[in-house]
Chain A
Amino acid sequence: MALVELRDLTKRYQTEAEVISVLENVDLDIEAGEYLSLMGPSGSGKSTLLNLMAGLDQPDSGTITIDGSEITSLGPNRLADWRANHVGFVFQFYNLLPVLTAFQNVELPLLLTNLSKDERRERVEVALNVVSLSDRMEHYPRQLSGGQEQRVGIARAIVSDPVMILADEPTGDLDAASAEEILSLIERLNSEFNKTVLMVTHDQHAAGRAHRMMYLEKGVLHQ
């Protein structure tokens, strides 16, 4: 069985003027350990697909099964729990809490667990090590560069050891050099740590770094 199975997934949006079809009967299988990229025109629903897979949104019809659990049938509280354990999200604009240090931002997901303070510290340090930011643990987001902030974002995404990393335009706001760093990091997460990665991007070059490329247009997924 694949790690991720999307079956007959449909999502539509209603504006004042018309109904927009974002996803139409989408089927997708993702095996554990795969690294996928998803491209498509602006507003084509790439982010919607990610949100659905993370359990942040509900489809109009169809099912999403991840690691054996059919998340489309879970209520909001169970989804939250599930999300904390199974998904790591990386955002385009990093979304770090500005009032917390890098360390504290990475620690956030672990506060949902029963781990002791020392156990949490250990994992945070490991995560920050992976992204090579151990020397900036006590810095605030405003004291970090864009690339460094995104690395903190990635550390936060992996700290609770999720099965799947969902990245929404992770390099969209970065300069070329930083973007390259981030892409290499994501590759490492996949090759060294065996994380399944789905990356949404409109950057052709970034998309090419994945094992498999997909294209979403007018609600149809081309694989």
Chain B
Amino acid sequence: MKHARLVWKNLTRNKRRSTLTILSVGVALFLFAALQSVLTALDATSEVGSESRLITRNATGIVFPLPEAYTQRLRSVDGVEAVSWANWFGGTYIDSRNYFAQFAVDEGTFFSMYPEVQIDPAQLEAFNGEKSGAIVGQGLMERFGWSLGQTIVLQGTIFPGDWEFVIRGVYEPDNPSFGDENMYFHYDYLFENSGEAATPGWFIVRPSDPNLATEVAARIDGSFENSSDPTKTETEKAFQAGFVTMWGNVGFLVRAIGTAVFFAILLVAANTMMMSSRERVNEVAVLKTLGYRDGLLSRLVVAESLAISVVGGVIGLAAASVMLRNNEMLGSILPGYTVLPSTMLQGLAIAIVLGLISGLVPARQAARLSVVDALRRVA
């Protein structure tokens, strides 16, 4: 610590160079945090699905509906406590770029299955009393500037025509990864006006004992095995995880980019350290004549490179945390996108490694410097 002044003097000797290098490292760690958070958010969306809720869908594919009659049969399966159902609407609000999820649900049973969806009881009542009523997430209200009681029109794609809905309630999720940009409306409203037979897109099942969820799932599928529409039942968590894999090999892409970023900035930091050390040959030589040891001098170099990369890393991570947390745009593509403490810690570790590697060569050079050769250059 008594040598801290030397390290500090070296850092501030060329403030511009130190600052630019610190900022470079900051930029790299910012990117790291942003990219890594994509991965953590994807993981989180699959966490959100409760392990004690089951999703039963058509075994052939999610796009195929199931017969309404299955409702009773599901209720009679051993271990099933409650059953609800929903259908995907897939409408367009003005422009296809204004994408958000819309579900036709059975109001009597759906919301009790999903305690995460928190609604004011008065609003829920108003919703129940109105056929074309809709409950939308707080995020949608902000995104489109809607107000309670407003009528919105969606163009149906699967169910053609223009559909009017009246916003009767706003929900907030108790878990950000659940997403606050969903819309729920009445299942009956959909099928009374679509001219098609009512068919649930999927069922939501609550087992009486959450620990037996997997057994109940197997039992359900077993009982429908030989029916016209066999089912596939899994925990909601597994169901969500399946969606995540649909993105493709995001993990690989993110890691590839992350690696490139790391090496690019490592080069910048290493270059800085080498430029600095080249200019200080004389001083290192003089210190050695005063009795400073090789080992100490090389440690001072490493301390300097660590200082640069850690300060830069902290700045970059802090910036990421501030800018990317609760970011609206990112939150609508990836609900629950945020910079986790674990990400910050990983980032810090990376900054430390960066500092160590970039200081390596100059540190060795300082240790091995021959005083005689160096001082000859001075005179």
Direct contact of A and B (CB under 8 A): no
Contact surface of B with A, Cβ cutoff 8 Å? none
Contact surface of A with B, Cβ cutoff 8 Å? none
